[in-house]
Amino acid sequence: MSIAVIIVAAGRGTRAGGDLPKQWQDLAGKAVVAHALAAFAGFRRLLVVHPDDLARAEALGSEAQIILGGETRDQSVRAALEALEGSDTTQVLIHDGARPIVSPAIIQRVLDALSQGSGAAPALAMTDALWTGVQGQVSGTRDRSGLYRAQTPQGFHFPEILAAHRSHPGGAADDVEVARAAGMRVTIVEGDEQNIKLTFPGDFARARQSLKGRGMDIRLGNGYDVHAFTGGDHVWLCGVKVAHDKALLGHSDADVGMHALTDAIYGALAEGDIGTHFPPSDPQWKGAQSHIFLRHAVALTKDRGFGIANCDVTLVCERPKIGPHAAAMRAALAQIMGIEVGRVSVKATTSERLGFTGREEGIAALATATLIAL
């Protein structure tokens, strides 16, 4: 699974006032769209901008790919979708650049729902009474049941939404409208009142207040593990079977990298280590696959209201060589943890022939995991 995020920021936003389009105005020290970009750090990002704003986009210094938008929102989205054709993208999130306070929780809810269907989008149920009006006077009421306020990011499977945009005549309010016109089913997930779209001048004051009062609970954990070599013809490292003239000795499958990462997550949660949750004295865990331990740590993370922002694993050994397998290891760990591969790092180093790793008596692994409260 490869996820791309399209951040749409090509509009003019004149109702917000000011000398610049709303997405380029200052909000707590940086442009509104910079906040939106930061919310999707770790994902492949495409920033769609108006040609007049190209220099501003480049000045952000973001790693996002810059796409020139069209005259309408759907034209801008389609330009980004077309730029993704031929890539390994399987899912796409489409987000308004004027929504600077999207939370990791909303992003995860959309991705979770997208795994079960072709489309998903956050929304808030209408709770206020609805009126119609003529010349400043109430002319009638409307039933609010079944009505929602749409938000972004709106998520879709990439081939389907690309085909939907190609077949749409244009003029859609958002991508859910495009998707539904093509017959796609879109699941509604819970939105967030703070995920406001800046439209009027007063919205900026609300956004500043939200950012000011938004506390960040960030947890950092470290893990370290060692396994000795024994007779065998392969080792398991970060979920990948690697041919070698030895094997690693352990109660489970001895995946030293995955063990260190699991302990890093437990450490960030102050939940002990693998031995705490899976005692080696318990025979049911003998020969167990290490993804069982890592999945448990990830599930515990979600239960505690956290998400995994990123993780980094370093393998210390002379052999086998890790470089040729690093990409597969990153992909395997990302799949097990249910996060974007861009949030997973796997690298290796030797100990310059010093110590037990230098003598090729075993492999050591160090890992760091960062958790953010959702």
In this predicted model, what pLDDT tens digit does every residue of 10-23 receive, in sequence order? 998 777 777 899 99
Does position 67 have pLDDT exceeding 60, yes or no? yes
With residues binned 3-state (H G I as helix, E B as strand, rest as coil), the percentages for the chain, rounded to 5, are 35, 30, 35
Phi, psi at residue 261, to the nearest 5°? -65, -40
Whole-number percent of the chain with pLDDT over 70: 98
Does position 118 have pLDDT exceeding 80, yes or no? yes
Confidence band (pLDDT; 50, 70, 90) for 216? low
Q: Which two tokens stand for residue 209?
A: 């207040």
In this predicted model, what pLDDT tens digit does every residue of 142-196 receive, in sequence order? 999 999 999 999 999 999 999 999 999 999 999 999 999 999 999 999 999 999 9
Size of the chain, expressed as the number of residues it contains = 374
**pTM of the full predicted structure?**
0.62
Question: Do strands 362-373 and 306-316 pair parallel, antiparallel, or not at all (unpaired)?
Answer: antiparallel
**Residue given tokens 């929304």 in the structure block:** 123
Q: Which two tokens stand for residue 366?
A: 């160090």
Confidence band (pLDDT; 50, 70, 90) for 214? low
Are 253 and 225 in contact by the 8 Å Cβ rule? The answer is: no
What b-and-e string marks burial along 55-87, b requiring 16 or more CB atoms within 10 Å of the CB?
ebbeebebebebbebbeebbebbbbbbebbeee
Structural domains in the chain, CATH included, are: 3-127+144-212 (3.90.550.10), 218-373 (3.30.1330.50)
Question: Do strands 246-248 and 362-373 pair parallel, antiparallel, or not at all (unpaired)?
Answer: unpaired
Provide mean pLDDT across the span 271-289. Answer: 90
Give the residue among 215, 203, 202, 180 at the shortest CA–CA distance from 96. Answer: 203
Mean pLDDT of the chain: 93
